[in-house]
């Protein structure tokens, strides 16, 4: 009598105890060879290559900023005095240099994309956007608290890098890079490339690992926590649907809301005027409406949580590792610690 097959294995043949790192070029799965320590070492090198690919984004960004600053200097453009030049030097090299450079590393890793075909309704997307807005508030508070502790220890105060970049930059440029280019490129890298290469350890590990890298690559405490939280939502959307367009759309809506809100406050005289009693009446109405949106986002967050519990069916790992071994791969990775050190140093 043949042994009965587990129901999950019948539904998804990819879910098995086989190790994808030993798959042939035709994608066929083969049984892993070697001792458990050898397997763990091989998987450690695999995760290290994924993390190093993300680290290359930062390295390429620094190199691109140096080259672009030098080119602008040749044209006698002072980056510190020209707001547009400062914005371009700060944001453009990541997408034009850092991400293409990291592709060299990502091309070497074996990917396991999620199953396609699941759709996400408009109502569900609205709930997920509410979850992102609510989580961003919590993350911003944690970032402010962490910066406060760091400022108390060092005697320095730090301003949000987002405020520094967008304060005096034209709205169209902010919107183009932050609301349009960033969601497309960041979802391709942090969701598609990273999650596909970490799903061998299971969807939950892949989503959290991707979100952790997404928060760390911002290299500042002001953005780390909310980028981590919304990154988990973006990752879940991608692994659930198997389609990158849903996470790109959600990322676009989230960033666009922040950019448009900041522009309206700037048109009203800036944050100082918005917090004063002498602000224009129309600005008071907008701030009241914005508070209403955040209150509704709490409802959306609750509904999104229910949606996660009911709909989320994470794929199990295709590599047989314990929870401690997975934690070892993620948290004892030298590249992650390098990003953590950069995050703290650049927040000083």
Digits of tens for pLDDT over the chain (348 positions)? 444 444 444 444 443 333 333 333 333 333 444 566 677 888 888 888 888 888 888 889 999 999 999 999 999 888 888 888 888 888 889 888 999 888 888 877 788 888 877 888 888 888 889 889 988 988 988 988 888 888 777 777 666 666 666 666 788 888 998 999 999 999 999 999 999 999 999 898 999 999 999 998 887 888 899 999 999 999 999 998 999 999 999 999 999 999 998 888 888 777 776 777 777 888 788 878 888 887 878 777 777 776 666 666 667 777 778 888 888 888 888 888 887 887 777 666
Judge whether 75 lies within some domain.
Answer: no
Q: Rounded distance, CA 297 to CA 126, Å?
A: 9
Judge whether 152 lies within some domain.
Answer: yes
Q: Rounded distance, CA 167 to CA 204, Å?
A: 37
Inter-axis angle of helices 36-74 and 83-93, to 10 degrees? 150
Q: Give the number of other Cβ atoms within 10 Å of residue 47's Cβ.
A: 24
Judge whether 90 lies within some domain.
Answer: no
Q: Rounded distance, CA 135 to CA 206, Å?
A: 20
Q: Give the number of other Cβ atoms within 10 Å of residue 82's Cβ.
A: 14
Judge whether 66 lies within some domain.
Answer: no
Backbone phi, psi, residue 192, to 5°: -65, -60
Judge whether 205 lies within some domain.
Answer: yes
Domain that holds residue 199: 116-347
Judge whether 78 lies within some domain.
Answer: no
Judge whether 91 lies within some domain.
Answer: no
Judge whether 129 lies within some domain.
Answer: yes
Number of domains within the chain: 1
For the chain, how many residues are written? 348
| Residue pair 286/160 in contact by the 8 Å Cβ criterion | no
């Amino acid at each position: 009598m043949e042994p009965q097959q587990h129901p999950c294995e019948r539904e998804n043949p990819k879910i098995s105890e086989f190790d994808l790192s030993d798959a042939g070029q035709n994608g066929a799965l083969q049984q892993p060879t070697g001792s458990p320590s050898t397997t763990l070492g091989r998987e450690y090198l695999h995760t290290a290559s994924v993390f190093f690919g993300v680290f290359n984004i930062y390295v390429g960004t620094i190199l691109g900023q140096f080259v672009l600053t030098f080119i602008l200097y040749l044209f006698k453009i002072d980056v510190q005095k020209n707001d547009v030049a400062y914005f371009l030097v700060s944001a453009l090299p990541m997408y034009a240099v850092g991400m293409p450079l990291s592709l060299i590393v990502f091309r070497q890793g074996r990917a396991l994309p999620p199953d396609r075909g699941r759709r996400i309704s408009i109502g569900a997307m609205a709930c997920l956007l509410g979850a992102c807005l609510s989580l961003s508030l919590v993350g911003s508070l944690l970032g402010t608290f962490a910066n406060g502790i760091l400022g108390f220890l060092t005697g320095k105060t730090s301003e949000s890098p987002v405020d520094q970049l967008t304060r005096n930059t034209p709205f169209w440029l902010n919107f183009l890079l932050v609301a349009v280019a960033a969601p497309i490129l960041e979802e391709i890298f942090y969701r598609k490339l990273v999650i596909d290469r970490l799903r061998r350890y299971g969807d939950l590990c892949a989503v959290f690992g991707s979100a952790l890298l997404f928060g760390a690559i911002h290299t500042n405490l002001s953005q780390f926590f909310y980028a981590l939280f919304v990154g988990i939502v973006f990752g879940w959307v991608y692994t659930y649907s198997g389609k990158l367009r849903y996470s790109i759309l959600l990322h676009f809506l989230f960033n666009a809301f922040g950019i448009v809100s900041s522009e309206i406050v700037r048109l009203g005289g800036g944050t100082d005027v918005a917090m004063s009693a002498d602000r224009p009446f129309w600005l008071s109405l907008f701030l009241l409406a914005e508070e209403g949106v955040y209150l509704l986002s709490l409802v959306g967050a609750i509904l999104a949580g229910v949606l996660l519990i009911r709909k989320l069916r994470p794929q199990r790992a295709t590599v047989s590792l314990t929870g401690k071994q997975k934690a070892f791969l993620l948290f004892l990775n030298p590249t992650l610690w390098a990003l953590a050190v950069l995050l703290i140093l650049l927040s000083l």
